[in-house]
């Protein structure tokens, strides 16, 4: 009998040792600000796939006007150095290990309510995952700003999607979460782009077809590299930003990085611009 008791005691100790050695499950919070609900859709998709807590950041004085009214208000606030107040959060940031932060891109970075949130919290040692919606781009520039204001957070490369491409978002979020180890499952591991080469007439036509009807970008493709993606090809264009008017006081043309997807027989579509 003593031998049996000893065996059970040893087994219990082994189970305890294994359980103590296992990695603690990470507590995840999805925080987001959304004016038009585009970012809300991404936030809800991420939270649903992760089984994470979710909370919306609300401005005390909401940006409830149309596009131009929002732009004008934001421009005036930037000029006056005003950062809008936000409602107190219900979530206790301290109890979470991973914070997903979502926002629309305004003026090349996260919307002002996120600026206020980042001023009020310390995300040191937290894993921070930015995600955003935009007209043409802004993930990279907003991440740089995020690193600047929260230097002690563990910020990983985030996810961004054009508002015009929200139909593609669920599959891309699935790929992003699996690729970064937040959920398990099979995913397509994309290869690296090769060295860019000068664009051909056919590649120029693809670039023009993808960007020609977007009024906020006027650029000419110079170099390109391609890689295979599920059901199609992704193009990485290096382009020259063209001034809309030929005037001596216009700034010199800048360089853009433009990513374009061609899937099957569908029209080429650009996925983001990095300025």
pLDDT digits (tens, 9 = 90+) for 178-222: 999 999 999 999 999 999 999 999 999 999 999 999 988 889 999
Task: Answer yes or no: is pLDDT of 78 > 50.
Answer: yes
Place of tokens 């929260």: 150
Q: How confident is the model at residue 91 (pLDDT cuts 50, 70, 90)?
A: very high
Do 153 and 93 belong together in one domain? yes
In tens, the pLDDT along 134-146 reads: 999 999 999 999 9
pTM exceeds 0.75, yes or no: yes
Residue 8, pLDDT > 50, answer no
Q: What is the C-alpha to C-alpha distance for residues 160 and 103, in angstroms, rounded to an integer?
A: 10
Q: Using CA atoms, how far apart are residues 48 and 44, in angstroms rounded to an integer?
A: 6
Query: With 80 as the cut, is the pLDDT of residue 14 above it?
Result: no
**What average pLDDT does the structure give for the chain?**
89
Given a cut of 80, is residue 98 above it in pLDDT? yes
The CATH code of the domain that includes 74 is 3.40.50.360
Residue 7 within a domain: no
Domain containing 268 equals 197-244+252-274
Q: Are 243 and 250 in contact (CB under 8 A)?
A: yes
Whether residue 216 is found in the same domain as residue 164: no
Determine which helix (DSSP H) or strand (DSSP E) holds 177, and give its type and residue range.
helix 169-179
Determine contact, residues 5/12, Cβ cutoff 8 Å. no
> Which H or E element spans position 10?
helix 2-21
Q: Do 212 and 171 have their domain in common?
A: no
Could you tell me the two tokens for 254?
Answer: 């800048």
Contact between residue 96 and residue 27 where contact means Cβ atoms under 8 Å apart:
yes
């Amino acid at each position: 009998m003593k031998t049996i008791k000893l065996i059970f005691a040893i087994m219990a100790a082994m189970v305890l040792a294994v359980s103590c050695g296992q990695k603690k499950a990470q507590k995840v919070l999805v925080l987001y600000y959304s004016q038009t609900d585009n970012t809300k859709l991404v936030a809800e998709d991420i939270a649903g796939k992760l089984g994470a807590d979710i909370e919306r950041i609300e401005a005390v004085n909401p940006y409830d006007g149309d596009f131009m009214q929002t732009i004008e208000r934001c421009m005036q606030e930037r000029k006056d150095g005003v950062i809008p107040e936000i409602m107190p959060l219900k979530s206790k940031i301290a109890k979470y290990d991973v914070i997903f932060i979502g926002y629309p891109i305004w003026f090349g970075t996260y919307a002002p309510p996120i600026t206020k949130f980042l001023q009020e919290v310390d995300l040191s040692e937290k894993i921070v995952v930015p995600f955003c919606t935009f007209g043409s781009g802004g993930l990279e520039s907003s991440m740089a700003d995020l690193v600047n204001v929260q230097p002690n957070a563990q910020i990983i490369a985030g996810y961004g999607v054009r508002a015009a491409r929200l139909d593609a978002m669920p599959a891309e979020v699935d790929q992003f979460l699996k690729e970064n180890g937040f959920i398990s499952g099979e995913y397509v591991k994309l290869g690296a782009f090769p060295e860019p080469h000068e664009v051909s007439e056919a590649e120029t036509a693809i670039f023009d077809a993808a960007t020609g009807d977007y009024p906020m970008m006027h650029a000419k493709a110079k170099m390109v590299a391609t890689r295979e993606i599920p059901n199609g090809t992704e193009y990485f264009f290096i382009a020259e930003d063209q001034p809309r008017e030929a005037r001596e006081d216009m700034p010199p043309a800048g360089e853009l990085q433009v990513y374009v997807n061609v899937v099957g027989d569908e029209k080429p579509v650009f996925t983001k611009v990095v300025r």
